[in-house]
Amino acid sequence: MKVKIVNTSDHPLPSYETPHAAGLDLRAHVTAPVALAPMERALIPTGLFIEIPAGYEAQVRPRSGLAARHGITVINAPGTIDADYRGEIKVALVNLSGSSYTVENGDRIAQMVVAPHAAVAWEPAEELAESDRGAGGFGSTGK
User: What are the tens digits of pLDDT across the range 10-29?
Assistant: 999 999 999 999 999 999 99
Q: What is the pTM of this model?
A: 0.89
**Which CATH fold topology does 4-116 show?**
Deoxyuridine 5'-Triphosphate Nucleotidohydrolase; Chain A (2.70.40)
pLDDT-derived band at 30 (thresholds 50, 70, 90) equals very high
Read off the pLDDT band of 91 (50, 70, 90): very high
The pLDDT, as a whole number, for residue 20 is 96
Nearest in space to 102 (alpha carbons), one of 39, 37, 35, 31: 35
The model's pLDDT over 32-57, given as tens digits with 9 standing for 90+, comes to 999 999 999 999 999 999 999 999 99
Q: Exposed (0-12), middle (13-18) or buried (19+): which is 41, by Cβ within 10 Å?
A: middle
How much is the pLDDT for 54? 96
Give me the pLDDT at residue 65, please.
Answer: 94
CA atoms within 13 A on the CB side of 56: 12
Beta-carbon contacts of residue 33 (< 8 Å; ≥ 6 apart)? 102, 103, 104, 105
Give the residue extent of every domain in the chain.
Answer: 4-116
**CA-closest candidate to residue 115, choices 140, 82, 137, 92:** 82
- Give the N- to C-terminal CA distance of the chain in Å, as an integer: 40
| pLDDT for the residue numbered 9 | 98
